[in-house]
Amino acid sequence: MHFFEYKNKELYCEDVKISDIANDVKTPFYLYSHATLERHFRAFNDAFNGIDHITCFSMKSNSSMAILRLFANAGGGVDIVSGGELYRALKAGVNPEKIVYSGVGKKAEEMEYALNTGILMFNTESPQEIDRLNEVAGRLNKKARIAIRVNPDVDPQTHPYISTGLKENKFGIDINIACDEYLRASRMQNLEVTGVSCHIGSQLTKVSPFVDALKKLKELIRRLTDSGMDIKYLDLGGGLGITYNDEKPPLPSEYALALKETIGDMNLTLILEPGRVLVGNAGILVAKVLYTKTNQEKNFTVVDAAMNDLARPSLYGSYHGIRAVKMDSENIISMDIVGPICESGDFLAKNREIPALKQGDLIAVMSAGAYGFSMSSSYNSRPRAAEIMVKGNTYYTVRERETYEDLIRGEKIPEFLK
């Protein structure tokens, strides 16, 4: 459920006409609906009422400080994967006690920063990382709270690039040897073993892989508890899918119910790391048609947003709905919607049957709130897009469009070339 709807054949975000925003801020821009973000957060977080839990938004899906603040105000924490994300989260006002730190390649400096900040927990992913964290914490005279991210070897039945919980993936430690690693970590001076974590993949459209993973984690926790460890947190990662086209993912309430039933009476705090499900359908990318052209094979619509703005179609072949911001044509044709970048892989949609578009028309690329702006780049020296948030009948620029000066910031021509 979201707040991007037509009124009199004009697409609105909440009570604001999208074409009005485009007139003011120019295109392309990302557009987020405050009401949708708030609703998604509450629907997800409230679904876990009845058990101790923390909803730690996976901020790699969208690291806009305005969105981080919104979720923090609603009681959320974040899941970070780098020192840069920690910096952003703190600047946005996220409570460090609700920050968990994931990722296979944490650097010593990043560990130090996180330890000094007092984050809740490190989700460690390898024996060497555990050694390094113990060393860094020792140097700072601190104890690092850790979970080990285990790889439960369940098939999430999603795209191979975003599936992470199979044996063949780079993530975590094999669940069958995790117990030994936990024993090793629990004997280290500067570590406090407090949790178990996993994250099996992204854009999952069934509950069963989550339940399978949870059962395996429960079993592991039982063994760890028997060995005298005090496991306080069970972090189940993120991964709940959304509807891009015709997928029918479970509702957060169905997901939560299945997990609550499987957890039963375990006395733990559950940590969830949703990303896409909170922000994906709360954002769109708005672009303008520059040119249309036709060859013998195809119709092409060239727009002013490209793969540098939204990488998912090029990167994963992902589907994003395309809508005309003004519905003024009934003539349905098949077209490729492409950007200006010099690569054949630069498309936003292929062979899409939608009403014909003409020069100057605005389009909305739907479901672009997750892994949209956060994966964008300035490839082809294209300044990154603006980000706008609508609340009710007002819109706010939450990130300015980059300028040409931004593009060359930090660059230097060495003396010998002068």
Ligand X SMILES: *Cc1c(COP(=O)(O)O)cnc(C)c1O
- Beta carbon nearer to ligand X, 70 or 240: 240
With CB under 6 A as the contact rule, the residue among 129, 212, 273, 387 that binds ligand X is 273
x/- map, 114-153, ligand X, by CB under 6 A: ----------------------------------------
Instruction: Please count the helices (runs of H) and the strands (runs of E) in the chain.
Output: 12, 21
- Shortest Cβ distance from residue 105 to ligand X (Å)? 12
Nearest residue to ligand X by CB is 275
With CB under 6 A as the contact rule, the residue among 106, 199, 320, 352 that binds ligand X is 199
Count of residues making up the chain: 418
Q: How far is CA 98 from the centre of its chain?
A: 17
Q: How many CA atoms lie within 13 A of 302 on its CB side?
A: 9
Of 187, 264, 193, 185, nearest to 230 by C-alpha is 193
The answer to whether the peptide bond before residue 28 is cis (omega within 30 degrees of 0) is: yes
Q: Does 342 qualify as catalytic in the annotation?
A: yes
Q: With binding defined as CB under 6 A, does residue 60 bind ligand X?
A: yes
Q: With binding defined as CB under 6 A, does residue 40 bind ligand X?
A: no
- Shortest Cβ distance from residue 237 to ligand X (Å)? 4
- Beta carbon nearer to ligand X, 275 or 339: 275
- Shortest Cβ distance from residue 104 to ligand X (Å)? 10
Q: With binding defined as CB under 6 A, does residue 339 bind ligand X?
A: no
Q: 32 near 387, Cβ under 8 Å? A: yes
Task: Label the pairing between strands 322-324 and 362-365.
Answer: antiparallel
Q: 299 near 336, Cβ under 8 Å? A: yes
With CB under 6 A as the contact rule, the residue among 28, 152, 249, 275 that binds ligand X is 275
- Shortest Cβ distance from residue 413 to ligand X (Å)? 38
DSSP secondary-structure letter at 287? E
Q: With binding defined as CB under 6 A, does residue 61 bind ligand X?
A: yes
- Per DSSP, the residues of 60-103 read TS---HHHHHHHHHTT-EEEE-SHHHHHHHHHTT--GGGEEE--
Q: With binding defined as CB under 6 A, does residue 238 bind ligand X?
A: yes
Give the binding-site size for ligand X (rule: CB under 6 A): 18
- Beta carbon nearer to ligand X, 58 or 281: 58
Q: Rounded to an integer, what distance in angstroms lies between the CA atom of residue 215 and that of residue 284? A: 37
Q: With binding defined as CB under 6 A, does residue 156 bind ligand X?
A: no
- Beta carbon nearer to ligand X, 60 or 288: 60
Question: How far is the first Cα of the chain from the last one, in angstroms, to the nearest whole number?
Answer: 57
User: What residue ranges bind ligand X (CB under 6 A)?
Assistant: 58, 60-61, 79, 102, 199, 202-203, 237-240, 273-277, 370
Q: Which residues are catalytic?
A: 342
